[in-house]
Amino acid sequence: MKNQLGGEITIGGIRLQSNVLMAPLAGYTCFPFRLMVERLGAGSAYTEMVSADGLKYNNQATTKLLYTDDREKLKCVQLLGSIPTVFEKAAKSELLAPFQIIDINMGCPVPQVVKAGEGVALMEDMSKASKIIEACKRSGKVVSVKCRIGRNREKIVIEEFARMCESSGADMITVHGRTRDMMYEGEPLYEYIKAAKDAVKIPVFANGGIDSKDKAECAMQQTGADGVMLARFGFERPLLFAELTNRPTTETKLSLVMNQLALATECFDELSVLIYIKKLSSYFMKKLPGTKRYKQELYKAGSVAQVRGVLGKIFGEA
Ligand SMILES: Cc1cc2nc3c(=O)[nH]c(=O)nc-3n(C[C@H](O)[C@H](O)[C@H](O)COP(=O)(O)O)c2cc1C
């Protein structure tokens, strides 16, 4: 049966409110953002990648990345690393106790990550990738994998990789339809996401370049995937979640950004609040006519009160 965009889906026994997911985005998918998209209909939203090994330091940075509370109904964390025993320890740790789903990063193409044998490097070391999935599964949690389609067009390994994920116990796979060499540019190659979907029985999600309802429907249709995962365009336009999941909303960019400001102020120190809100506002301002003149004012704002004033001008008028 054809999967419906926006419908509910079960992953490893956990019911998600929709099959439109929010990707992990380093530097972006903090607790306030995840809460916002969950409320707008996202089926799940992941923390940005967190070093599995780095958890042992339990420092301020980790605390901030892992911040969550009861308002976030489904808690999903993404881990980065290369050593199965380290993953097992992390997955079973107290720090990750609140999280129901653990995603394993097997798609990051950043050179220093790949050099360390992490991220997309694991697609070329399937026996290690398999051990990592098994290690995470021993925590008893639901485990997903996020990967690409291969190193380059000559080395597409996604079909075999998807089978390995399934036989190692993964509950779901998200396939970013680009190769490692494509980084974040170029049209995603949906035919290879289809190949992954056809190769396994566990749910497969399509990721890459989805910036509208038309694109999401096209991705579902061309890949046969069980759902889609938004990334950059989900950050730029969170209202897409409401649209793709057919949830009527009266929210506007102004109400969203003001709510995010209040929420971030509750959870983070002022500097972190300013960094996050400026980043979010810049994305919200993309393609919004007449907002350019406020950019300098926004970047110069040095306190939450000042930022609040500028946001009113930018989005109040928009
Ligand atoms: C700034 C940035 C940060 C990212 N951080 C992560 C991350 O922490 N973990 C991950 O698996 N992918 C990460 N990605 C990849 C995205 O989740 C996604 O797979 C990719 O952007 C393709 O989707 P898109 O074309 O819809 O943006 C990141 C991408 C960008 C641009």
Going by CA atoms, what residue is nearest to atom 23 of ligand 1? 208
Helix (H) or strand (E) holding 21: strand 20-22
Q: Atom 13, ligand 1: which residue's CA is nearest?
A: 25
Ligand 1: centre distance to CA 49 (Å): 10
Residue 100 CA to ligand 1 center (angstroms) comes to 21
Q: Which two tokens stand for residue 265?
A: 């102020």
Distance from residue 3's CA to the centre of ligand 1 (Å): 24
Q: Atom 4 in ligand 1: which residue has the minimum CA distance? A: 25
Contact 44, 16 (CB under 8 A): yes
Ligand 1 — pocket residues by CB below 6 A? 23-26, 48-49, 78, 105, 107-108, 146, 176, 184, 207-210, 230-233
- The pLDDT score that the predictor gives to residue 1 is 61
pTM for this model (two decimals): 0.97
For the chain, how far is it from start to end, CA to CA, in angstroms? 42
In 3-state terms, what secondary structure has residue 297?
Answer: helix
Among residues 108, 136, 147, 165, the one annotated as catalytic is: 108
| Domain residue spans of the chain | 9-244, 253-317
CA of 184 to the centre of ligand 1 (A): 8
* Atom number in ligand 1 closest to CA 234: 26
Q: Class assignment of domain 9-244?
A: alpha beta
Q: Which atom of ligand 1 is nearest to the CA of 233?
A: 26
Three-state DSSP state, 84: helix
pLDDT tens digits for the chain (318 residues)?
678 999 999 999 999 999 999 999 999 999 999 999 999 999 999 999 999 999 999 888 998 999 999 999 999 999 999 999 999 999 999 999 999 999 999 999 999 999 999 999 999 999 999 999 999 999 999 999 999 999 999 999 999 999 999 999 999 999 999 999 999 999 999 999 999 999 999 999 999 999 999 999 999 999 999 999 999 999 999 999 999 999 999 999 999 999 999 999 999 999 999 999 999 999 999 988 888 889 899 999 999 999 999 999 999 865
Give distance in angstroms: CA of 143 to centre of ligand 1: 19
Residues pairing with 185 in the sheet: none
| Dihedral of the alpha carbons of 278, 281, 287, 291, in degrees to the nearest 10 | -80
Three-class SS of residue 98? coil
Q: How far is CA 67 from CA 76, 96, 196, 201, in A?
A: 11, 10, 33, 33
Residue 146 has what DSSP assignment?
Answer: E
Q: Output the pLDDT for position 246.
A: 97
Determine whether 147 is an active site residue: no
What tokens appear for 202 in the block? 């566990």
Distance CA 174, CA 176 (A): 7
